[in-house]
Structure 1
Amino acid sequence: MLTALSIANIVLIERLDLDFEAGLGVLTGETGAGKSILLDALGLALGARADSALVRQGTDRAQVTASFAPPAAGSPLATLLADNDITQGVGEPLIIRRTLKADGGSRAFLNDQPCSAALLREVGGHLVEIHGQHDDRGLLAPAGHRALLDAYARADTAAVAAAHAAWRAAEAKLAAARAAIAEAERDREWLEHCVAELQALAPQPGEEAELAEARAAMQKGERLAGDLGAILEVFDGSDGGPALLRGAARRLDRLAGDHALLAEALAALDRAIIEADEAETKLHEAARAMEYDPERLDATETRLFELRAMARKHACQPDELADLTGTLAARLDAIEGGSAGLARLEAAVAESAAAYTRAATVLSDQRAKAAARLDAAVADELAPLKLDAARFRTLVERLPADRWGPGGIDRVEFLIATNPGAPFAPLAKIASGGELSRFILALKVALAEEGGADTIIFDEIDRGVGGAVASAIGERLARLAGAGKQLLAVTHSPQVAAKGAFHFVIAKSSEGTVTRTSVHTLDDAGRREEIARMLSGAEVTEEARAQAERLLEVAA
């Protein structure tokens, strides 16, 4: 709901600050006073094209600030703000500010955070609907008709959207499987060769490192064989070092008891024998590990080179060959077992498509029944609005299968025929300006609280009508405002003005060469005087004042 509007330097408006209430508000004033300027300023705040002609002459910048009640938590508007990182405090108003320079540059802000004009338009569409002589938004846009009918029908569209998502997911899986099988089929001969080659090679993870290490050890063994042999000769036989140490130990053992130093010498000799034995063991192990066997070295090198060559062929590391074997084998198996897998996926697609069709058909039936109720409800509103010759129809048309989507299988559009025997056509193409606004009012009253912005503005909806028709318009505006909407009506009709819960009068004044437009909120006495002016013209008579009093009493 619009709570406040501040305008500075817009055409004839020098400075203006207005507060708004809930319910029906009316804006009146003499022709040319500047009512359209007020709507242009609000349109600028809601993202309309920035026209430098709006900047008041003699100033370099114009600004409009509009304040709205905070959006409800979880509402589409709250989600839109959050998705665009616009901070909205709990319970704090949503503030829109738009500045426009005389050279044409403009800037937009949401809660003092810079934003694009496109985002401003999207936010504005959630906040305000403006229905005027040249309106092409709101109820005139067929894109929104289906959602309005669904809301009127109290239809659960989430089930259809979920069924559609499941259907499309099943189709995506089937398409991916078919593409994988087709690719594998194209590569069948190559796959068969590669899998056979890899399986024959039977690579193992870590094998390359083990082969490389063994090869290096054997190559070292070839170089060190002579030195190791000479060293081992020192340990071998009865004349070897360890044998001589043991002999000395036996002789010393017989003498050790004669002196403490001999006992210590015997202990040291025993330790030397143990170390010598360990050294001999390590030398033999090293000799075996680096044993040079030309055939074994050749076999090791052959296997190592085969692994590396295969890795180069498949552009991978040797340790990845084992996994590659499994991957290629799986692709080959998919060709053989693909038919069975495809059959299961095709069955899943058919099942999900059937589930979507059932859900969408139920929704379509709900729409058809709701359309009939809506047509009847709108028809009841047309005659009092001097549209008794017109007919309204909600078209619910089955879409071709390739256009079915999460919103269902129907196209919905509101159509009218203004004369008996005339064909039905879209609202915007048939109705004149005044008729169009009255059609929209009839629709809005029939739809009541279903969808749309909380603030609705009707610009001269009563143009070309008077008397009972104007009174009927006023009654319906008040009824719609009582259904939880805030309505602002620019009107020339005293019958409509009398229905307002609050009343603004727009006036134009001149001082020398300076012309200004001002807006004032009227109290009860001011409302009576303004409605009397609207009834009598230039000179307000007592009879007009009495009639204005009667209109206000009836409206109350």
Structure 2
Amino acid sequence: MLVALAIRDVVLIERLDLVFGPGLSVLTGETGAGKSILLDSLGLALGVRAESGLVRAGQSQASVTAAFQPPPAHPTYALLLEHGLEAEEEIVLRRVVQADGRSRAFVNDQPVGVSLLRRLGALLVEVQGQHDQVGLADPASHAGLLDAFGGFEADRAAVALAHRDWRAAERALEAARAAIAEAQRDEDWLRHAVGELGTLAPEEGEEEALAERRQGLQQGEKRAEAVAGALSELTPRDRRGGGNPAAALRNAARALERMPPPNDSIQPALILLGTAQDALAEAETLLARLVQEAAPDPRALESTEERLFALRAAARKHAVAVTSLPELLERLKERLSALDAGSGQVVALEAAARAGRAAYVAAAGRLTERRAAAGASLDAALSAELVPLKLDRARVTVALTPRPEAAWGPDGQDRVEFLVSTNPGQTPGPLARIASGGELSRLMLALKVVLARGSPVPTLVFDEVDSGIGGATAAAVGERLAAVAARVQVLVVTHSPQVAARGAQHYQVAKSVTGERAETSVTALLPAARREEIARMLAGERVTDAARAAADELLAALT
């Protein structure tokens, strides 16, 4: 329910803080006191269109803050979570309007779009006004209200579930058909690609392994070339041994050995030449063995590169990474399998879709039958409520119109709409088009009395629902407002003392003029002041003792 309303610099209101309780709250005051400004201010907080004319003269901006405490599990909490906002126990809607007409919206001090504010406001407050009818006047809400009136929540849930399953089966069928159609268009290419990739048989991680092996083979060739080059330097370049270091060492040793005595001085040189010959022979043997061991396989590098390049060429052809080739092959195989097995799959899905549609039609048909019976009961209940509201010539009927299959939804196959005729012989039409402002407000009140438990909105606002009536009719209006207020919070702007006397809380709206500036104020009335206000409403401008006595009598009769 609405627990508090704070208004700053809106038209004639400079600063106003109101606290509301449960039950029926009445707002009274003389014509022109500013009661409509209160409703306009509340509308701002609920997301209605902002206008620069609402900003108090001389001020840069106006603001309205409305605090609500919805019941547990109310739809507003789910909506807040859907938009990433914390669902606190109290929900505070705030609107700030600049003097140029621009506005900002906040929910629990978090900036939001006005559209979200409007959606939250529609879940929290329903306004029935003389000129701006919302809520029950919207046909989109009528099916849910009729189902709640008839107690068809379980049937409605069954229809929604059947609709979901049917649509899921339809989507699966459409997806299968689309996949098969796509596969058929590409069948030749698919078979060629699967055959080509299947022959290639790419493996996960193969590219990295081949690249490492190729690098190793390339480095092995370079090592073998280096060893072979070193060995060639130790082998003769001609038949006479020219250019052979080993032969050169032997020749040098032989030349020294032919030296005539005394030759003791050359012995160290001969020893070093012998050592060099041995080391050179050992190096030559080692290099020869290395050449033999490191001789590369001429096909190994070639086959490795062929495999690596083939994988990379296939990846370029299919515009994927080499690492994705195995996955691509599996996907293409699946598409071929879907094509090969598609007919059987489609047949099964078609059967499932037909079964889903049949289940939905059966569930929706049962709901339609029950709605028709509930509509007749609702007609009778509303007729009984309209007589004391001075609408005995009016008739509200529930129209059930079959919708085309394309418009079937989770709420059934019917379009449900409450239609009204206010005079005999008049063709029933939509609520908002047929009735006048006062008639429409009373029609809404009658509907609310009958359908109160069907709406999740915890706060109802009626603007001059008693317009143009008095006496017993006004008393009947007050009685029904009190009945609705026993279930939900009700705020009513009224000129009727019979309605005002029913209020659990009574607020007086007054306008005062200081100098050239007018200002609207709102006062929560205590018992004595309330008696005086109801006496004024009974007597007019001059309050008499007789009017006060009548006010006492009226208040006493309702306590």
TM-score range, shorter chain: 0.7 to 0.9
1:100 and 1:203, CA in 2 relative to 1: closer, same or farther beyond 3 A? Answer: closer
Task: State the percentage of identical aligned residues.
Answer: 52
Are residue 451 (structure 1) and residue 448 (structure 2) matched?
no
**Aligned partner of 2:434 among 426, 430, 435:** 430
Deviation per CA, 1:213-259: give whole Å up to 9, x if none.
7965895698479679999x9xxxxxxxxxxxxxxxxxxxxxxxxxx
Measured at CA, do residues 394 and 210 of structure 1 come closer, stay the same or move farther in structure 2, by a change above 3 Å? Answer: same
CA 1:308–1:127: 2 relative to 1, 3 Å: closer
Distance 2:421 2:144 in 1: 23
Instruction: Give the 3-state SS of the residue equivalent to 2:168 in structure 1.
Output: helix
- Provide closer, same or farther for how the CA distance between residues 308 and 534 of structure 1 changes in structure 2, counting only shifts above 3 A: closer
Equivalent positions of 1:24-103 (< 5 A) are 24-68=24-68, 70-90=69-89, 93-103=90-100
**In structure 2, C-alpha distance between the alignment counterparts of 1:161 and 1:288, rounded to whole Å:** 79
Q: Residues 241-320 of structure 1 correspond to what in structure 2 (within 5 A)?
A: 287=292, 290=295, 292=297, 306-316=310-320
d(CA) in 2 for partners of 1:58, 1:318: 72
Deviations 1:334-354 (A, max 9, x none): 322211111112122122222
After superposition, give the CA deviation of every residue in 1:247-272 in whole Å (9 maximum; x if it has no partner): xxxxxxxxxxxxxxxxxxxxxxxxxx
* Structure 2 portions without partners, runs of 5+: 236-281
Q: Which residue of 2 aligns with 1:269?
A: none
1:368-387 alignment runs, 5 A limit: 368-387=372-391
After superposition, what is the alpha-carbon deviation per residue over 1:507-544, rounded to whole angstroms, capped at 9, x for unaligned? Answer: 22223323222222222232222222222222222332
**What TM-score do the two structures reach when normalised by structure 1?**
0.82
Contact 2:501 2:534 in 1 (8 A): yes
- The question of 1:140 aligning with 2:144 is answered no
TM-score by length of 2: 0.81
Confirm whether residue 149 of structure 1 aligns to residue 146 of structure 2.
yes
Q: How many residues align?
A: 506
Asked if residue 522 in structure 1 is aligned to residue 516 in structure 2, the reply is no
Offset from partner CA, 1:49-91 (integer Å, 9 cap, x none): 22222222233333323232x233432111222333433444x
Structure 1 537/212 Cα, relative in aligned 2: closer, same or farther at 3 Å? same
1:20 counterpart = 2:17: no
Q: Which residue of 2 aligns with 1:553?
A: 556
Q: Which amino acid aligns with 1:401?
A: E
Partner of 1:505: 508
Does 2:544 align with 1:541? yes
Residues 19 and 494 of structure 1: CA distance in aligned 2, closer, same or farther (over 3 Å): same
- 2:184 equivalent in structure 1: 185
User: In structure 1, how many angstroms separate the alpha carbons of the residues matched to 2:99 and 2:326?
Assistant: 72
One-letter identity of the residue aligned with 1:518: S
Q: Give the direction of change, closer, same or farther, for the CA distance of 1:291–1:374 in structure 2 (3 Å limit).
A: same
Distance 1:228-1:373 versus aligned 2 partners, 3 A rule: farther
Bigger Cα displacement from structure 2, 98-107 vs 341-350: 98-107
In structure 2, the CA distance between the partners of 1:310 and 1:82, relative to structure 1 (3 Å rule), is: closer
- Partners of 2:390 and 2:124 in 1: how far apart? 30
Q: 1:493 aligns with which of 496, 499, 511?
A: 496
For the residues of structure 2 that align with 1:373 and 1:361, how far apart are their CA atoms? Answer: 19
Contact 2:126 2:459 in 1 (8 A): yes
- C-alpha displacement of 1:444: 0.2
Alignment partner of 1:174 is 2:177: no
Offset at 1:396?
A: 2.1
- 1:84, 1:348 → 2: CA distance? 36
Q: Compared with structure 1, are the counterparts of its residues 202 and 152 closer, same or farther at alpha carbon in structure 2 (3 Å cutoff)?
A: same
Query: Is the contact made by 1:222 and 1:292 (CA closer than 8 Å) also made in structure 2?
Result: no
CA–CA separation in structure 1 for the residues paired with 2:310 and 2:20: 86
User: 8 Å contact 2:12–2:518 — kept in the other structure?
Assistant: yes
Q: Could you tell me how far apart the structure 2 residues matched to 1:325 and 1:85 are?
A: 42
Partner of 1:159: 158
The alignment partner of 2:454 has SS state of coil
Which residue of the partner structure matches residue 260 of structure 1? none
Query: Contact conserved, 2:448 with 2:484, CA < 8 A, in 1?
Result: yes
User: Which amino acid is the alignment partner of residue 82 of structure 1?
Assistant: L
- Kindly report which structure 2 residues correspond to 1:190-229, keeping only aligned pairs within 5 A, or say none: 190-202=189-201, 206=206, 208=210, 212=214, 216=218, 223=225
Seen in structure 2, the aligned counterparts of structure 1 residues 291 and 120 have a Cα distance that, compared at 3 Å, is: closer
Alignment CA distance shift 1:325-1:449 (3 Å): closer
2:413 is aligned with 1:409 = yes
1:218/1:292 contact within 8 Å kept: no
Deviates more, 1:447-456 or 1:218-227: 218-227
Aligned position for 2:128: 131
3-state SS of paired residue (1:384): coil
Per-residue deviation, 1:175: 1.6
**Equivalent residue for 1:113?**
110
Task: Say if 1:444 and 1:480, in contact at 8 Å, map to a contact too.
Answer: yes
CA distance in 2, matches of 1:67, 1:193: 68
Going from structure 1 to structure 2, the CA distance change for 1:434 and 1:283 (only over 3 Å counts) comes to: farther
Q: Tell me, what secondary structure is at the counterpart of 1:385?
A: coil
Letter in structure 1 aligned against 2:489: Q
Cα distance change of structure 1 residues 203 and 123 upon mapping to structure 2, 3 Å threshold: closer
Aligned residues of 1:382 and 1:390 also touching (Cα < 8 A): yes
1:181-235 C-alpha deviation (Å, 9 max, x unpaired): 111111122223333334445555538559847965895698479679999x9xx
- SS at 2:49 equivalent: coil
The whole-number CA distance in structure 1 between the counterparts of 2:490 and 2:331 is 67
The structure-2 alpha-carbon separation of the partners of 1:327 and 1:94, relative to structure 1 and needing over 3 Å to count, comes to closer
> Offset of 1:138 from its aligned partner?
0.7
**Residue of 323, 331, 337 corresponding to 2:335:** 331
Supply the distance in 2 between the matched residues of 1:301 and 1:62 (Cα, whole angstroms): 77
- 8 A Cα contact 2:70 2:124, kept in partner: no
Q: Is the CA contact (8 Å cut-off) linking 2:231 and 2:288 kept in structure 1? A: no
Which digits, 9 at most, give the CA deviation of each residue in 1:87-111, with x for residues without a partner?
3444xx3333333333333333322
**1:114 Cα deviation from its structure 2 partner:** 2.5
1:20, distance to aligned residue in structure 2 (A): 1.9
> CA shift at 1:323, angstroms?
4.8
**Pairwise CA RMSD of aligned residues?**
3.2
**Residues 447/300 of structure 1: CA separation in 2 closer, same or farther (3 Å cut):** closer
Match for residue 460 of structure 1 among 460, 464, 467:
464
Letter of the aligned partner of 2:9 in structure 1?
N
Instruction: Establish whether residue 364 from structure 1 lines up as the match of residue 368 from structure 2.
Output: yes
Hey, what's the Cα distance between the residues in 2 that align with 1:319 and 1:473?
78
Partners of 1:94 and 1:139 in 2: CA distance: 24
